Structure 1
Amino acid sequence: MKSIKKLLLLCLVSIAFFSCKDTKKESQKEIKEVKENPKYSADWESLMNHKTPEWFLDAKFGIYCHWGPYSVPEFESEWYAHWMYVNKDNPEAKDGKASSFYEHHVKTYGPLKEFGYKDFIPMFKAEKFDAAEWADLFKKAGAKFAGPVSEHADGFAMWDSDLTEWDAKDMGPKRDVMGELSKEIRKRDMKFIATYHRQWLFGWYPTWDETTDASDPKYAGLYGPKLKKGDNQMPRSMKEIDKGIDRYYPLADKKFNDEWLARLKEIITKYDPDLVWFDNKMDVVSEDIRKEFLAHYYNTADKSGKDVVATYKFYDFKPGTAVLDLERSRMKEKKDFPWLTDDSIDWNSWSHISNPRYKSTNRLIDFLVDVVSKNGAVLLNITPRADGTIPEPVKERLLEMGQWLKVNGEAIYGTRTFEIYGEGDAKVVEGHLSERKNADNTAKDIRFTTKGNILYATVLDWPADGKLNIRALKANSDVYNSEIASIQMLGSEGDLKFSRNEEHLSITLPNKVGDHAFSFRITPKE
């Protein structure tokens, strides 16, 4: 009997052993299949399955900066690197006249054969750059994501690259700017972003012009491929852009495409950005390469269990595969998809210049409130000096925004849209680079956001008569039919008196708190 029991026991152990072994094999097989069968393939249909992460939907506000060798001359704009080469013989010369940049450059620095853009790099020392100080400022400003321009159209990489010597670690500052900022930004619980303009390098410099240093093959690593005179000019009209017509010609060759992608992959490998932002003109790069980038980025994040965002302008990615980004503009109506807008703190430039014209804090806050009410987020560009210091007027505006968000952030962060974005007299002009056409807001302009069953109404200026009247929330409103239990103004204690009639909801205002937009929390009855 004991022999039979022993035999049965041995059989059971053997079955369990081989069963466990088989289970382990199946588990390893599944892991292998996940690695060999990535979630996303490099086609638009597959990439459409990528969802915008909750952290981005909640964040609403980020900061980045145009900072590089183009910051040294401090003249007119960050496009100095391009326009400094536009002499009277350049196809882009208007009316046969050299650009003001060219005239300034030759007068200040000498002929382009002797002093080209490359010669600004040793002058870009960033000797006062302090990544921790920058990150502290971004945090105090209320930003939830931040980072530098990784590489602008000038072709100079702001990271420690193994692919080129023309980078901030090997030249200029001789520091890994992206590495230092990524560490300090994440340390303060903000998401790290990388922004990328390299596609503009294809035709940015007149590599055909033998009278300049840009034609010297010795500097091709910075100035890019040799093109013919007249190649790759700017679009003839914005109407062509809006229609999606190919804007640049010829398209980039395989070598340029491969390096464009290789640098992006290096950024992802070394710095693991939570968001990769792109400037436009990606249509000069092969569509297959663009799809390959998105698949690589999304799959890399998926393997590590990370939620990431990529952005695009115009038609550079297929809608739904990434987040649409506008430039110096906004939507006039609420959208059912999340979007981003990048805008600069300076009306005239994206980089530091000697005669800046900064936007007021009030304008920056009103812009943020309006964008968020329409399902958007703001990426605000700031303008550090070449030495790495941030101008005091820029600091002041960021800190004022941060103070406002400390009081009113409840109506911004983590919110979602209401039935309508708001009401008021302000009319938004849409379109690329249209922000100058939009007037300042008044006390008649009110914007809505929601969080759960709470409704927030933010008025963009203080009503002079001590009453805030909101037409959209009148009695028997089509968009808000809940009974109201209480109303408070953020930053002020106590419930406010209110009444509703067939014309509007009328709120009796408390003492004024702050100098900019004013947010009200409206709680419905259970």
Structure 2
Amino acid sequence: MLASVLVVTVPMEAESLSSDATPEHIVSTRVEPVAAGAFAPTWKSLEGYEVPEWFRDAKFGMWAHWGPQCVPEAGDWYARFMYVQGHRQNKFHVERYGHPSVFGFKDVIHAWKAEKWEPEKLVAFYKRVGARYFFAMANHHDNLDLWASRHHAWNSVRVGPQKDLIAGWAAAARAQGLPFGVSVHAAHAWSWYEVAQGADKTGDKAGVPYDGKLTLADGKGTWWEGLDPQELYAQAHAPSPGFEAAESIHRRWHWDNGVTRTDLAYCQNFYDRTVDLINQAKPDLLYFDDTALPLWPVSDAGLKIAAHFYNATHARRGAGDAGVIFGKILNDEQRKALVWDIERGVPATTLPYAWQTDTCLGGWHYNRSVYEKDRYKSARTVIHMLADIVSKNGNLLLNVPVRGDGAIDEKEVAILEEIAAWMAVNGEAIYATRPWKVFGEGPASVGVELTAQGFNEGKGKPFTAADLRYTASKDGRTVYVIVMGVPTEPLRLAALGKAAGGSGVADVRLLGGGGTVTWEQSEDALVIGPVEGTPVAEAAIVFKVAL
């Protein structure tokens, strides 16, 4: 099956947010000014953005989606679900730590020491694996800032590890010559944490409020004396109707469907914190876990943050480089202003602009059961995903879950070593390539529809040696044929037949050697015979075709 380069409309437009809305809350730039430059805080101005060439060349980044929710080793969104009576993570929390009216998430933060964190070694390893940029999480929906925040007392320098984690990650990335990115998720703490205002419905603690109701005055004589839990939990508001339901947050992600509206002070604080982060860390990439931009369309905070980032990054990095900002579920106009990030998913075909998939070896936050049950993605799966994504003009950002202590486990190391070995042989088919006239051929070339932020990962046909993906050198004189396995039958590549309109094939060789290649170009196909001998990289072999 020949995979066409035809660009299709991705069926997500109904879920995107209009750029024409009028924000309710206009944040002040008095304390944290927007940097001067070509970009103004409007969607129309941001549409003048151009993706820097280095990002299009990089193709593969790695991410430490690491914070206090990794301490329990019980999976993602722990700080929310620990407050939902009967939820798996709530049961775990009560058994391990006690009732959330007594031991809440603020206390999980207090238990976080990051005693084995060695950012220099980790980032150097990730570069050897093949990463060409590195991301660190700056805060999650749990609302803890992981830098020396000027506008938020609940930060990792004051509580938990008592270290500036973002500064450490940034220094490590720059020591390796890698562009540095930060991911910001805290815009949704307002509604995401509402369950912390609740209480058990049944049992001996029925009606006893969780610690999301605590105030500054309640801290006298405790480890958190002088800190206001309301600043962390952001719950000094009436919760949204039905907030107790575990999944209620999903239908309200766009600040609608009955969510209690944020106030100006909340939006202002988010703006000030994020601009402070940009000014301190000077990231080259900025990821938002939000539709379009954070707090849009309630506030203009996201627009002002974007303008500041582009202007400040351009002033620092120079002509043609304003860095990269990622947003989710973007409409056509917004895809001119930001790079579209697709969470755990891949579009059906090549897109005309740069985009990114973000995914994970396991869960977003470290999960002991994933480790114990051997449920990590294999190196083979990651390599196949990377080839598919790059063939469609995308980049892959891969999260490697980090334990609460700051280390990754030996199973993750083994997987990454396999990826490193493959990239060492075949990296030229990935880095600095561009999409070819078709992205691929084979039975797995029919895509699966994206839903919401993406989430079609693993829903299509599995890749086999009958599937292949194409990439090309920038000058178009070399085509790379990435075969998802080691074929035992001759490959018939219709897209490289003389009748397909391409120039004649001058040479075909296997990257990494390891076997003799026989080939013949006819009118209807380039036929490559089975490789004689054992290829160096069996997860996916790559033929380099000179035109």
Give TM-score, length-normalised by structure 2: 0.82
Moved more, 202-211 or 406-415: 202-211
Q: Is 1:252 paired with 2:262?
A: yes
Amino acid of the structure 1 residue aligned with 2:313? A
From 104, 118, 126, the equivalent of 1:116 is: 104
- Structure 1 gaps of 5+ residues are 1-34, 88-97
Q: Is 1:302 paired with 2:291?
A: no
Q: Is 1:449 paired with 2:448?
A: no
Q: Is 1:498 paired with 2:515?
A: no
User: Which residue of structure 1 lines up, in the alignment, with residue 381 of structure 2?
Assistant: 363
Structure 1 vs Structure 2 CA RMSD = 2.4
Q: Does the CA contact (< 8 Å) of 2:482 and 2:541 recur in 1?
A: yes
From 277, 283, 292, the equivalent of 2:304 is: 292
What is the CA–CA distance in structure 1 between the aligned matches of 2:485 and 2:259, rounded to whole Å? 48
**Divergent runs of 4+, >6 A:** 234-241
Secondary structure of 2:272's partner? Answer: helix
From 278, 282, 294, the equivalent of 2:288 is: 278
Amino acid of the structure 2 residue aligned with 1:251? R
Q: CA offset at residue 122 of structure 1? A: 2.2
Structure 1 residues 235 and 121: alpha-carbon distance in aligned structure 2, compared to 1, 3 A threshold: closer
Q: Does the CA contact (< 8 Å) of 2:480 and 2:542 recur in 1?
A: yes
Q: Does the CA contact (< 8 Å) of 2:294 and 2:301 recur in 1?
A: no
Amino acid of the structure 1 residue aligned with 2:99? P
Q: CA offset at residue 280 of structure 1? A: 2.2
Aligned residues with identical type, % of pairs: 31
What is the CA–CA distance in structure 2 between the aligned matches of 1:271 and 1:414, rounded to whole Å? 27
Q: CA offset at residue 410 of structure 1? A: 0.5
User: Which residue of structure 1 lines up, in the alignment, with residue 366 of structure 2?
Assistant: 352
CA deviation string 1:434-477 (max 9, x = no partner)? 21313420111110111111111111111013x33212212311
From 190, 205, 208, the equivalent of 2:197 is: 208
* Larger RCO (alpha carbons 8 Å, 6+ apart): 2
User: Which residue of structure 2 lines up, in the alignment, with residue 193 of structure 1?
Assistant: 181
What is the CA–CA distance in structure 2 between the aligned matches of 1:503 and 1:116, rounded to whole Å? 66
For residues 50-449 of structure 1, the aligned pairs below 5 Å read 50-75=49-74, 77-87=75-85, 98-206=86-194, 207-209=196-198, 211-218=209-216, 219-231=229-241, 246=256, 249-280=259-290, 282=293, 284-285=295-296, 286-306=298-318, 307=321, 308-315=323-330, 318-346=334-362, 349-356=363-370, 357-426=375-444, 427-431=446-450, 432-449=454-471
Q: Does the CA contact (< 8 Å) of 2:443 and 2:461 recur in 1?
A: no
Q: Does the CA contact (< 8 Å) of 2:62 and 2:133 recur in 1?
A: yes
Q: Does the CA contact (< 8 Å) of 1:150 and 1:159 recur in 2?
A: yes
Q: Does the CA contact (< 8 Å) of 1:232 and 1:250 recur in 2?
A: no
CA deviation string 1:29-59 (max 9, x = no partner)? xxxxxx9962111111111111000010000
Q: Does the CA contact (< 8 Å) of 1:124 and 1:386 recur in 2?
A: yes
CA deviation string 1:1-55 (max 9, x = no partner)? xxxxxxxxxxxxxxxxxxxxxxxxxxxxxxxxxx996211111111111100001
- Structure 2 gaps of 5+ residues are 1-33, 199-207, 217-228
What is the CA–CA distance in structure 2 between the aligned matches of 1:36 and 1:463, rounded to whole Å? 55
Amino acid of the structure 2 residue aligned with 1:464? T
Q: Does the CA contact (< 8 Å) of 2:295 and 2:302 recur in 1?
A: no
Q: CA offset at residue 518 of structure 1? A: 1.1
Amino acid of the structure 2 residue aligned with 1:278? F
Structure 1 residues 486 and 152: alpha-carbon distance in aligned structure 2, compared to 1, 3 A threshold: same
CA deviation string 1:406-444 (max 9, x = no partner)? 111101000001111111101332322221313420111
What is the CA–CA distance in structure 2 between the aligned matches of 1:69 and 1:239, rounded to whole Å? 26
Moved more, 277-286 or 355-364: 277-286
Q: Does the CA contact (< 8 Å) of 1:202 and 1:232 recur in 2?
A: no
Q: CA offset at residue 232 of structure 1? A: 8.7
Amino acid of the structure 1 residue aligned with 2:366? H
Secondary structure of 2:485's partner? Answer: coil
User: Which residue of structure 2 lines up, in the alignment, with residue 27 of structure 1?
Assistant: none
Larger % of helix: which? 1
Q: CA offset at residue 174 of structure 1? A: 1.2
What is the CA–CA distance in structure 2 between the aligned matches of 1:135 and 1:438, rounded to whole Å? 32
What is the CA–CA distance in structure 2 between the aligned matches of 1:325 and 1:425, rounded to whole Å? 26
Q: Does the CA contact (< 8 Å) of 1:208 and 1:226 recur in 2?
A: no
User: Which residue of structure 1 lines up, in the alignment, with residue 26 of structure 2?
Assistant: none
What is the CA–CA distance in structure 2 between the aligned matches of 1:213 and 1:409, rounded to whole Å? 50
Structure 1 residues 237 and 148: alpha-carbon distance in aligned structure 2, compared to 1, 3 A threshold: closer
For residues 436-515 of structure 1, the aligned pairs below 5 Å read 436-451=458-473, 452=475, 453-465=477-489, 467-478=490-501, 481-492=502-513, 496-508=517-529, 509-511=531-533, 512-515=535-538
What is the CA–CA distance in structure 1 between the aligned matches of 2:257 and 2:129, rounded to whole Å? 38
Amino acid of the structure 2 residue aligned with 1:461? G
